[in-house]
Amino acid sequence: MSTEENIAAFRRLIEVGFTQGDLSVVDELVSPACIEHQRGNMPGIEGTKATITTLRRWFSDFELTVVKVAADGDTVWSLNRARGVNTGSVMGFPPTGKSFETDVMDVARFEDGKIVEHWGVPDQLGLLMQLGLMKRPQSVGAR
């Protein structure tokens, strides 16, 4: 597939899978043998579906938007913006009702139109602080 087709496939996974919650697109765009490098996420189709399901359970109005994208051959790099309101239990914490907006960096490698390898770096610390689940560190004064 071309670089442009890989970008289009990646955008489709973000827009239809993550934002709209349509899990059928995962079968279309993720390889069953997909290697997942993001800590805590499971590999393959079922791992991607579990990630989408979890995010949408934590944030019923979850939205993921591609902000910037670049590609070279079989690899797509993307800066995404995640938004939502915490309406479900997150990591054992009760819902806060607070909204969040945070950045997510993704890298996806494609073969034959499907993602075969993924690296993701969400700003988890920023998310937890915005939800009030982690306090902002106190500033250290100049010495």
| Every domain of the chain and the residues it spans | 3-130
Strands ordered across the beta sheet of 114-122: 30-36, 114-122, 99-111, 75-85, 63-72
Q: What is the architecture of the domain spanning 3-130?
A: Roll (3.10)
pLDDT at 141 exceeding the cut of 70:
no
What single-letter DSSP state applies at residue 132? Answer: T
pLDDT at 18 exceeding the cut of 90:
yes
pLDDT band, very low/low/confident/very high, at 140 (cuts 50, 70, 90): low
